[in-house]
């Protein structure tokens, strides 16, 4: 490219970065006709150059954002939300203000602990959470009662029917003498799926802790602390 030729950028990629959405969501905004380049409505597949003005709903979109990724060790008692729910604190109270623009990638409920990813990269969030990418998640789970061998086999081999479909988890005992503590591997991520799966068989989950999410793990990150990371 000669010095006289301006560099050209993909519009949907730019919107995804600046707005913290996926490229598919950026394309939806373009299709709605609310994205403009120099005042002209943009079309799917559009590109732009340095110096062009990009706006969404009439508001100019800046070009000064870089992708950021964080691994947080969420404690029990925090919600993965920007908005506080009653007296329950949010995970953003664990982060410096400069990271409050990042969005959670997936969720853990208030009574669960473990790894949470946050990012402003909408495409990253999409590939980490959409079912078609089947990202592996690993949990340490403690039940209030011992899990019967038959129920273990049912969950592993056949799945448990829930109101939103069958739930199959891969269960592994943490040790040979304890049938309350389990390592669970799954590639789904439906709302409270583990708790509902055991609940359907009459069990109560006393502790649920996520150690791995895709290529990411907690490692040595202490409870309530975080690390800045990169795409793996």
Write down the catalytic residue from 52, 109, 145, 176.
109
Active-site residue flag, 121: no
Q: What is the 3-state secondary structure (H, E, C) of the chain?
A: CCCCCCCEEEHHHHHHHHHCCCHHHHHHHHHCCCEEECCEECCCCCEEECCCCEEECCEECCCCCCCCEEEEEECCCCECCCCCECCECEHHHHCCHHHCCCEEECCCCCCCEEEEEEECCHHHHHHHHCHHHCCCEEEEEEECCCCCHHHHHHHHHHCEEECCEEECCEEEECCCCCCCEEEEEECCCCCCHHHHHHHCCCCCEEEEEEEEECCEECCCCCCCCEEECCCC
Indicate which residues carry an active-site annotation.
109
């Amino acid at each position: 490219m000669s010095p006289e030729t301006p560099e050209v950028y993909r519009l949907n990629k730019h919107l995804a970065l600046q707005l913290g959405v996926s490229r598919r969501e950026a394309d939806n905004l373009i299709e709605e006709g609310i994205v403009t380049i120099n005042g002209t409505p943009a079309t799917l597949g559009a590109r732009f150059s340095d110096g062009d003005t990009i706006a969404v709903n009439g508001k100019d979109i800046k070009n000064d954002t870089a992708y950021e990724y964080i691994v947080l060790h969420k404690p029990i008692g925090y919600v993965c939300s920007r908005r506080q729910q009653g007296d329950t604190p949010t995970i953003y109270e664990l982060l410096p203000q400069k990271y409050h623009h990042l969005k959670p990638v997936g969720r853990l409920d208030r009574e669960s602990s473990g790894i949470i990813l946050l990012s402003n990269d909408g495409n990253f969030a999409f590939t980490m959470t959409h079912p078609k990418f089947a990202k592996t998640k690993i949990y340490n789970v403690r039940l209030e009662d011992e899990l019967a061998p038959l129920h273990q086999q049912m969950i592993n081999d056949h799945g448990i029917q829930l109101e939103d479909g069958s739930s199959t988890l891969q269960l592994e005992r943490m040790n040979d003498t304890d049938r309350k503590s389990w390592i669970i591997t799954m590639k789904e991520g439906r709302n409270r799926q583990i708790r509902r799966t055991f609940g359907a068989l009459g069990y109560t989950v006393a502790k649920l802790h996520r150690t791995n999410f895709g290529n990411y793990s907690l490692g040595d990150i202490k409870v309530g602390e975080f690390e800045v990371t990169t795409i793996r």
